[in-house]
Structures are given as C-alpha cells and as structure tokens.
Structure 1
Amino acid sequence: MELRPYQQEAHDAILDKWASGDRRVLLVLPTGTGKTIVFSKVVESCVRAGRRVLILAHRGELLNQAADKIKASTGLMCSVEKAQETSLDSFYRVTVGSVQTLMRESRLKKFAPNHFDTIIIDEAHHAVSDSYQRILDYFPEAQVLGVTATPDRGDMRNLGSVFDSLAYEYSLPKAIKEGYLVPIQAMTIPLQIDLSTVRQQAGDFSAGDVGSALDPYLEGIAEEMAKYCMDRKTVVFLPLIATSQKFCNLLKSKGFAAAEVNGESDDRERILTAFDRGDYNVLCNSMLLTEGWDCPSVDCVVVLRPTKVRSLYSQMVGRGTRLYPGKDHLLLLDFLWHTENHELCHPAHLIASSPEVAEKMTENIAEAEAPVDLEAAEETASQDVVADREAALAEKLKEMKRRKRKLVDPIQFEMSIQAEDLANYVPSFGWEGKPPTMKQLQSLEKFGIFPDDVDSAGKASVLLDRLHARREAGLATPKQIRLLESRGFQHVGTWTMADATKLIGQIAQAGWRVPRDINPATYQPQEGWVRQVVNG
C-alpha cells in the first residue's frame, strides 16, 4: 500500500525521532487521515528490524481494526493479548493487547520486561491514565509511539508528561486544503441551553447532569434539526442512553428516519449496517461512536454532549469529515450553551490557532444566520485578532523607542514576519517548558532578538530555527526590522535582506531621515518582496 505524502513524512519522522534518542514520541493526525495506516507501516519497519511490537488499545473494536489494517497493508499477522487469549506461545512478532487485560500485575509478570521492543498506543490521549502508565513502566526500554487526533497543543500539555516529543503533526486545516478531508461548515442554532448548574467530573462536565439539563430543550432541538438536517445523514452525540433514546423518538415524531444505538444494544451491528446502507438518516448514540467507527457518508454532526475536552470533541466531529462521493462539506450544528465555564469546546476550537482566535470565531459564527465555512471564519477572526495585537504592539514599540533598545522584541519580530505559530507557541513536552539555556539566549541576542522576553527553551528553539531559516533564505534581519519599523515601515519581516539594506542606505544618505518621496505606511519594495513567511 502506497502512503500519501504526509503519511510517509510521518512514518519517517517517527523513525528519525527514535533514532535520535527520543524514546517516547507522539503522532497527531486528524480523524480520517489514516493514522492506523501510518502506524501499520511503522510496525512493518520495526518487524523488518527484528523488533517485537505491542499495540495497545482500550476497546476491542480498536484492537480488531488495528489487526485487520496491519494484515491488509503489510501482510503481517497479529497475536492477541486479551481476556483468555495470550500471545506468549505465538511466533507472530506483532501483538494487539487490551489495556484492561495487560494492566493486571499477574498478566504483566508473564512477560520479561524486555519482551516488547516497541509499544504503539492507539488513541494516545488515554495514555495519561494509570492503567497505561503501569504497562509502560513495566517495559521501560521499549520505544513508544502514541497516536491521537487531538487538535491543539492544549491537550498535549498533559501528554507531555508521557511523551518526550512530537514526531509529526498534520493539521485539520491542512488536510482539508490538500483534499484529504471535506470542508466543515458550522451553524450556531439560536437556542439557549443553560448548563450553569452542571457539575465537573473527571475534568469534564458530568454526563448525568448534562442529561438532566438537556432534557427540557430536546423538543426545541428536534424542531431546529428539522430545518437543517432532514435531507442529511446525521449523527447525534448525547450524554446518556435514556436521553439518546428519548431524542430518537422525538426525531421520529418530526419525520426523521431515526435509529439509536448504545453499549447495551443487542442489535448494534444490524443498526449500524442499516444506517450505513441508508435505511436511517439519523443515528443517535450515547457517546458510543466516538472511536473505532467509520461511516464516510455522514455529512452532518450534532454534538449534544457539551465537553471541554478537545480530543473528545475532535473525535465526535471526525465522524463526518471523511470524503465520500457527492459530499462537498460537513455541516456541524452548535448551540448557545450557557455556562459559567468558558472552556467549552465549539467548532472554532477544531482549527483556531489560539484561544483569542477561537473566541472571536465563535462570536462571529453565532452572529451569522447561515452555515459558515470554518476556514473562512478562522481567516477573518485571525485578521481581527492580529489587528488588536498590532494596536497593542504599537504602544509597546513607543515604550521601546523611548528606551532606545537596540534589539528587537520577540513580539515585534513575530508580528513583523506574520508568524502566528510563534505568537501562539505553548510549551508541551518536558524540556520545552524549562528556562532557555545560556547558549540559546546568547544566540538570540547575536541574531538581534531581545532575549529577556523569551520565557522557555521550547520558544527559544523555534525562534532560533526560524531565524536560521530566514538567514538562509536571505530575508530581512531582526536589526533591520527594528530600524525600519521604528520609522513607520510595515511588516519589514516579509522583505528580503537586500531590499531592507537598499532602503536603509537611502535613509542613511538622507541623514538618517526617511526621504520625502517615501511614505513608510504604504511603502513596499519594488523588487524581491517576499510575501510569505519562511516556516523553517
């Protein structure tokens, strides 16, 4: 099976990270972009190198999917470590194992601590739990790969306690732009749902409380869905089985061909097959279908299980982002959840580059009266946030000018080169959050960056990577940026070094004054102007 370009890049990056000494690495791929294919090929590479591999998952469906995909894509067979089945007498070099089984001390002790050379954790956002940690600690020398669809670095701050580094990340917007997933259109339903009395439980909203709080609104939600979803294939996520069943009956009364599945359904497979076939156009479930279920024809997702966990929200929405003939977008319905907790996930959090952008996107989508394309909404909100930041930066630059600082403030540099990724950087993994090293600080100052405002080794590292890449590309230096922007020129970081040097020469010849025929606010170099930031 030939890998897509990003899948091959991910495979190679994982092996490179292991080879460089990072023992536990993370792979982030959006739902629907083939994470199982990628780790299947990693498994194949490990087996070719004579290694023994364990694939861990917390649900039987995920284990079966992994074994099937590995066999289909590589030809390798897997032994099973689950309940009464054991891999100890098998000659297969790949084992799919249940976390619930292997976490038991009596089961672990049947293996030598060096039995597995490689451990792969599917749905790695679960890896922070004690059960996974017990298994990883028992095989201390194994190289570990965690795979997750977590969409932002906020979730990865928790995973940073388990993994050494991020091997590769493929973003949802990039997957959409490159045509591997469908665009997402979000619609905010003007129905205010009060969650202010819902308690927190295990880091999220209590499912029981959400179910009770949601109950009075189900009739209204069903009426709203009748306006937008009647001709769509829709999956609805609800907090409780009882709520899911009640809502399914309400939808039927509105004319939907609705069905309901839950963990206790005896005919679950029959219903899922019938939904896939088109016998039903709405499928209600109580959080059963967040992982390990694919139905590419789904073109509408309704999340009635509000959550503050990004990975969970991403999994729910991911049920509808896969490509399918005739499907040109996914409709994602959101609601005006009223809660005192501002960490509630909204469609904006799927692609927003920062909390500020997500908040602005959510406001803009709520004000719209029709579905809004998420990428377009993100672009508009980003421009608004950048404008606010630049206004704040202008005030800061005035203060810097009074202090006559010779070096460039990191924020000024980031805004000048239009680098949102630098401006929104958040340390995730252990070393990234430590203070910058003396060597890093000295290097930043040598480049012309004021180092005192760089607060972590991770931020220093990405800044230095960008600075080296810009120097190789012949782009304006930080000192050129500071000198020219102090005289009113805009985004000098997008210029070439040659253009900046030429203009500085003209200013020097004019006695270090801007020549009268040049307007700094509108000036753009005529030749060699670089419009896109070098990303390293």
Structure 2
Amino acid sequence: MELRDYQQDARESIQAEWDKGIKKTLLVLPTGTGKTIVFSKVIEDRVKKGERVLVLAHRGELLEQAADKLEKATGLKCATEKAEQTSLGSWYRVVVGSVQTLMRESRLERFQKDFFDTIIIDEAHHCISDSYQRVLNYFEDANVLGVTATPDRGDMKNLGSYFESLAYEYTLPRAIKEGYLSPIKALTIPLKLDISQVTQSAGDFAAGQLGTALDPYLESIADEMWKVAKDRKIVVFLPLVKTSQKFTEILNQKGFHAAEVNGESKDREQILEDFNKGKYNVLCNSMLLTEGWDCPSVDCVVVLRPTKVRSLYSQMVGRGTRLHPGKTELLLLDFLWHTERHELCHPAHLIADNEEVAKAMTKQIEEAGVPLDLEVVEKQAEEDVIAQREEALAKQLAEMRKRKRKLVDPLQFEMSIQAEDLSSYVPTFGWEMGPPSEKQKKTLEKLGILPDEIENAGKATKLLERLERRREQGLTTPKQIRFLEGRGFQHVGTWSFEAAKKLIDRIAANGWRNPPEINPKEYRPES
C-alpha cells in the first residue's frame, strides 16, 4: 500500500522518537486521514525487527477494524485478547487486545512483563484512565505509540502527563488545504437554547439533564434543519437515547426520512447499511457513532450534544469530513447555546488553537446568518486579534524604547513576524515546562532576543527553531527588526534580510536618520 507523503513522514518520525530513546510518543492525525494505515505500517516495521506488538482499544469494533486494516495494509494477521479469546499460544506477532479484558490482574499475569516490545493505543485520549494505565504500567518497558485525532490544549495537557513527545501532527486545516478532507462550512442556527441550569459531571455537561433541557426546542430545531439542510445527508448527535428517538419521530413528521440507532438496536447493522445506501437521509444517535463508523457521503453534521471536550466535539464532526464524489463541503450546524459558562466547543475550535481567535470566529459565524468557510473566517479572526494585540504592544514598545534595550523583546519579535503559534504557545510535555537552559539563553541573546521574558524550555526551543528556519529562508534578524521598528517601520519581521539590510544602509548613509522621502508607517520593501 502506497503511503501519502504525510503518512510516510509520520511513520518515520515515530521510529525516530523511539530510536532516540523516547519511549512514549504521540501521533495526531484528523479523522479520515488514515491513522490506522500509519500505525499498521509502524507495526510492520516493528515486526520486521522481530518484535511483538499489542494494539489496545476500548471497543470491540475498533479492534476488528484495526485487525482488518492491518491485514489489508501489510498482510499481517492478528491474534485477539478479548473475553474468552486469548492470544497465548498463537504464533502471530501482533495482538489486538480489549483494555476491559487486559486490565484484569488475572489476565495480565498470564503474560511475562516483557512479552510486548511495542504497544499501540488507538484513540489515545482515553489512555489516561485507570484501566489503560494498569495495562501500560504492567508492560512498562515497551515502546508506546498513542494515536489520536483530536487533542486540544486540555487534552494535550492530560496526554502530556503520560507521553513524552509529539512525534508527528497533521492538522485539520492542512488536510483540507491539501485536498484529503472536505472543506467545512459552519452555520449558526438562530435559536437560543438555554442549558444554563445543566450541571457538570466528570468535566462535561451531564447528559441526562441535557436531554431534558433540549426537549422544548426539538420541534424548532427540526423546522430550522428543514430550511437549511433538507436535501443533505445528515448525522445528528444527541445526549440521550430517548431524546434521539423522540427527535427521529419529529423529523419524520416534518418530511425527513430519519432513522435512529443506539447501543441496544438489534438491527443496527441494517440501519447503518440502509442509511449508507440512501434509504434514510437523517441518522440520529446518542453518541454511538463518535468513533469507528464511516459514511463518507455524510455532508451535514448537527451537534445537539453540547460539550466542553474538544476531542468529543471533533469526533462528532469527523463523521462528515471524509471526501465523497459530488460532495463539495460539510455543513456544520451550530446553535446559540445559552450557558452560564463560556467553555462550550463551537466549529471554530476545530481549527483555532487560540481561544481569542476561536471567540472572534464564533462571533463572526453567529452574526453572518449564512454558512461560512472555517478557514476564511479563521484568517479574518486572526488578523483582528493580531490588530488588537498590536495596539496593546505599541504602548508596551513605547515604554521599552525609553529603556533603550539592545535586544528584542520576544513578544515584539512574535508580533512582527505574525507568529500566532508562538505568542499563544503553552507547554505540554514535562521537559517543556522547565526553565530554559543556559545554552538556550546564551544562543537567544547572541541572536538578538531578550531571554529574560522566556519562561520555559519549550518556548525557547520553538523560538530557536523559528530563528533557524528564518535564517535559512533569508528573512530579517531580530536585530534588524528592533532597529527598523524602533524607527517606526511596520512588520519588519515579514521582510527579507536583504531588503532590511539595504534600508539600514540607506539610513546609515543619511547620518543614521530616516531618509526624508520615506514614510516609515507606509513603507513596504519591493518584493
């Protein structure tokens, strides 16, 4: 099986982490970009080295899918460790194992502690739980790869408590840009749904109370769906089975062809197949279809299970991001949720790393009244947020100039080069949270950055990597930025090294004064 470029890069990056002695590493790929294919190829590499590999998952369907994809991609067959099935005595070098089965002490003790050399955790955002940790701690010397589609800062903070590094990340916007996933358009439905009285349970909204709170709005939601999505193939996520069943009835009364599936559905396979074939155009479910189910022709997702957990939100939306002939985009319907807290996930959170940008995006989408492309909205929101920050920075710089520093403040550098990822950076892994090393500080100072303002080793590493990349690309240095922006020139960080050098030479030739024919606020070097 021929891997795509990013899949091959991911495969090599994972092996490189293990070769460096980093035993626990993460792979982040959005739903629909082939994470199972990538880890299948990683497994093949390890088996060629003579290793035994365990693939851990929390649901039977995920184990079956992993075994199926592994055989298709590599020809390798698996033994199974689940309920009454055991892998002991099998000559297969790959085992797919249910965490619910393996977490039991009596089951674990059948294995030597060094039985597995490598462990792959599918849907790794679950692995912080006690059941997974019991298995992972037992096979403590194994290399571990966690595979997930959906870490945000909250998730990564949790995952960072176990994993030591992020081997490779392929983002949703990049996958859309490169044509591997469907563009997403978000539309806010102008219905105010009040969930302010719903309490929280285990860090998210209590599903039982959400179902009750939604009931009064189901008729209105169905009416709005008919207006904007009656010709689409829709998946609806709801908090409770009874709410899902009730909403299915309402949708059918309105003219949709709707069906409902839940964990107790005897004819679940048949319903999913009929939906796939087009017998139904709406499928309602109570969080059953968040993982491991694919129907690429879905071109509308309705999230009626509001959540604070980005991994859960991304899983729901991920049911509609795959490409399909004739599908031009995924329509994602959002609602005006009224809650006492402002922590809800919205479409913006799928692609915005920064909470300020996400808030600006959500506001734009809510005010538009028409479907908006998420990438276009993000670009505008980022520009707005940067403009606000620049205003605040201008005041700060005025203060700094009085102190006549010879080095560039990191914030000035980040804003000048328009590096949103640097200015909103938050450390994840343990080593990133420690203070910068003396070597890092000296190198930053030598390159013209004031190291005193850099709080952790992770930020220092990112800055040094960016400075090296800018040097290779022939862009301005921090010292050029400080000198020219100190004289009123704008966004010098986006200029080339040569353009800045020529201008500094002109200023020097003019007795270190700006040439009279140049207005620094309007000046842009020739590209």
Q: What is the letter of the counterpart of residue 275 of structure 1?
A: F
Deviation for aligned residue 1:353: 3.1
How do 1:206-221 and structure 2 match up within 5 A?
206-221=206-221
Give the letter for the 1:75 counterpart.
G
Cα distance in 2, alignment partners of residues 359 and 340 from structure 1: 16
Q: Secondary structure in 1 aligned to 2:12?
A: helix
Equivalence map 1:197-346=2 (5 Å):
197-346=197-346
- Report the Cα distance in structure 2 between the residues aligned to 1:511 and 1:267, rounded to whole angstroms: 84
Task: Provide the rounded CA distance (Å) in 1 between the counterparts of 2:342 and 2:456.
Answer: 27
CA distance in 2 between partners of 1:306 and 1:494 (Å):
40
Give the Cα–Cα distance (whole angstroms) in 2 for the partners of residues 154 and 394 of structure 1.
Answer: 31
Gaps of 5+ in 2: none
**Counterpart Cα distance in 2 of 1:259 and 1:166:** 40
- Whether the 8 Å CA contact 1:24–1:165 is kept in 2: the answer is yes
Give the deviation of 1:512 after TM superposition: 1.6
Report SS of the residue matched to 1:145.
Answer: strand
RMSD: 0.9
Are positions 1:419 and 2:419 aligned together? Answer: yes
- Kindly report which structure 2 residues correspond to 1:350-369, keeping only aligned pairs within 5 A, or say none: 350-369=350-369
Query: Match of 1:12?
Result: 12
Work out the CA distance in 1 between the residues paired with 2:463 and 2:209.
45
Decide which moves more: 499-508 or 369-378. 499-508
Structure 1 CA distance for aligned equivalents of residues 468 and 4 of structure 2: 29
Q: CA deviation at 1:154?
A: 3.4
Q: Is the 8 A contact 1:79 1:87 kept in 2?
A: yes
Cα deviation digits, residues 54-113 of structure 1 (max 9, x gap): 000000000000000000110000000000001111000000000000011111011011
Question: Displacement, 1:405?
Answer: 1.2
Task: Give 2:496's aligned residue.
Answer: 496
1:72 aligns with 2:72: yes
Tell me the residue number matched to 2:474: 474
Read off the aligned partner of 2:272 and give its amino acid letter: L
TM-score by length of 2: 0.99
* Greater alpha carbon shift after TM alignment, 118-127 vs 438-447: 438-447
How far residue 273 of structure 1 moved from its aligned partner, in angstroms, is 0.5
Report the secondary structure of 1:334's partner residue.
Answer: strand
Matches within 5 A, 1:22-101: 22-101=22-101
Shift of 1:151: 4.8
Contact 2:125–2:151 at 8 Å: present in 1 too?
no
Distance 2:425 2:174 in 1: 18
| Deviation per residue, 1:102-160 (Å, 9 max, x gap) | 01111101101100000000000001111111111001110000000115333211100
Equivalent pair of 2:17/2:25 in contact (CA under 8 Å) = yes
Q: CA deviation at 1:230?
A: 1.1
8 Å contact from structure 1 (residues 99, 132) kept in 2: yes
Query: For 1:399 and 1:188, how far apart are their aligned partners in 2?
Result: 43
SS at match of 2:154: helix
Residue 464 of structure 1 is matched in structure 2 by 464
Aligned to 1:162: 162
C-alpha distance in 2 between matches for 1:21 and 1:448: 33
Give the CA deviation at 1:342.
1.1
CA distance in 1, matches of 2:152, 2:522: 36
Q: How far off is 1:380 after superposition?
A: 0.9
Q: Which whole-Å CA distance do the structure 1 matches of 2:494 and 2:232 have between them?
A: 45
- Hey, what's the Cα distance between the residues in 2 that align with 1:392 and 1:155? 30
Give, in angstroms, the shift of residue 48 of structure 1: 0.6
- TM-score (norm. length: structure 1): 0.97
Q: Percent identity?
A: 70
More displaced 10-residue stretch of structure 1: 137-146 or 432-441: 432-441
Q: Is the 8 A contact 1:199 1:209 kept in 2?
A: yes
Tell me how far apart the structure 2 counterparts of residues 469 and 231 of structure 1 sit (CA, whole Å). 48
- Point out where structure 1 has 5 or more consecutive residues left out of the alignment: 530-536
3-state SS of 1:193 partner: strand
1:397 aligns with 2:397: yes
AA aligned to 2:512 is W
Match of 1:454 in 2: 454
Work out whether residues 151 and 314 of structure 1, in 8 Å CA contact, stay in contact via their aligned partners in 2.
Answer: no
After TM superposition, the runs of 4+ consecutive aligned structure 1 residues lying more than 3 A away are: none
How far apart, CA to CA, are the structure 1 residues paired with 2:439 and 2:255?
Answer: 68
Give the SS at the match of 1:91: coil
1:533 — aligned with what? none
Distance 2:178 2:72 in 1: 25
- Residues in 1 aligned to 2:151 and 2:25: alpha-carbon distance in whole angstroms: 17
Q: Paired residue for 2:509?
A: 509
Distance 1:432 1:157 in 2: 11
Amino acid at match of 1:100: Q
Q: CA deviation at 1:251?
A: 0.3
Could you tell me how far apart the structure 2 residues matched to 1:411 and 1:79 are?
A: 54
C-alpha separation in 2, matches of 1:334 and 1:468: 41
The alpha carbon displacement at 1:506 in A equals: 1.5
SS of residue in 2 equivalent to 1:111: coil
Paired residues of 1:485 and 1:492 also in contact (CA < 8 A): yes
Q: How does 1:142-153 map to 2 (within 5 A)?
A: 142-153=142-153
1:111 is matched with: 111
**Residues 301 and 331 in structure 2, CA contact (< 8 A), matched pair in contact too:** yes
Alpha-carbon separation, structure 2, partners of 1:276 and 1:474: 52
